Structure 1
């Protein structure tokens, strides 16, 4: 074989090797891109599924909380005239769905304070005074279970405070949850300037009005 022919044969062989190498590189790059795409969208789907599961779990916990307190709130409403929607919404707001330290450890769902060291616990709380939020130490009632807390809350609205037995008279006289929520604010139940709107929003979002049927 001539030198020239051997050179052409060798050159064709190198081209074939180069082409094969390029094909292999292309396949590897495609595989890497495919793995990246699958991993990316798989991770996004995993995050989406995880978020959906968390939302569903939170919603179920909230439904369970309402189911737990609603029957007793209705019973107290029929006995004392306090709208169950108000009782349930206040329990939700004040206790953070039963998750606050005061609620989870001491069964106090309404932030009710006391003076007797034998049945109270000192905890930090926030109060809105002079146009700003401040953290203070407050002495709060301790209860044996959530029903005791709910009844004490109802009795507070019915009997008022030691310095003003008529303090929550407007709350009791209210015929609907909106008037009652406004009265809670004006009668001084909470210092939070947004208390009324928060109570109304909770009642409307979770359709708590249905528990008021037949109460007044």
Structure 2
């Protein structure tokens, strides 16, 4: 009997010493599960956000593509160029100029009755500077798209031939280069951005049958 009592005491002591280890392991497991759960939640949230952005981008392209094709047939401007410029200039229709004034291309004007003064960034003397610009205000995005096409066809008030290289380009790469050389934008990376957007969203397919 005494031996049995000694054995029980040793067993109780052993269990007593194991309790901190069990608690420690439980905490580690719970922390690990929490970290894994948080990581999975973050991944899920990021996937959902990416999917939402892609949906919004596809919706924007679907919105402007039909009229871009119409203008391409009417004025000779490649639809891929029109769509890509609308994407870049309006930030997918989310810029203040696009949302509030339906100006998808950053087209400027001089008449106070149909323009709005807003801040914009331009690349001058090797650096980006913020300036105030007077931009056209439109009743809807189609009016903006049409004005953009007419600007490329008719040129500016000081040079009616300014964008003729763009109009006569046979493919989107040639047209994107011409936009840069003809002075449409001051951004030194404008050509590469246009080409990248066209290729990423396969906008070339909208050019079929235009030229």
TM-score, with length taken from structure 1: 0.93
Mapped partners of 1:25, 1:182: distance in 2: 70
Aligned to 1:81: 76
After superposition, where does 1:185-204 map in structure 2 within 5 Å?
Answer: 185-204=180-199
What's the C-alpha RMSD, in Å, of the aligned pairs? Answer: 1.6
1:58 aligns with 2:53: yes
Shift of 1:11: 5.9
Higher Cα Rg, which structure: 1
Aligned to 1:183: 178
Q: 2:165 aligns with which of 159, 163, 170?
A: 170
Aligned to 1:115: 110
Shift of 1:14: 4.4
1:18 aligns with 2:13: yes
Q: 2:200 aligns with which of 201, 205, 213?
A: 205
TM-score, with length taken from structure 2: 0.95
Unaligned runs of 5+ in 1: none
Mapped partners of 2:124, 2:25: distance in 1: 64
* Count of aligned residue pairs for this structure pair: 211
Unaligned runs of 5+ in 2: none
Mapped partners of 1:213, 1:76: distance in 2: 13
Aligned to 1:37: 32
Shift of 1:206: 0.7
Deviations 1:103-130 (A, max 9, x none): 1111110000011111111111111111
Mapped partners of 2:26, 2:177: distance in 1: 64
Q: 2:65 aligns with which of 64, 70, 73?
A: 70
Using the TM superposition, name which of 73-82 and 30-39 deviates more: 30-39
Using the TM superposition, name which of 124-133 and 203-212 deviates more: 124-133
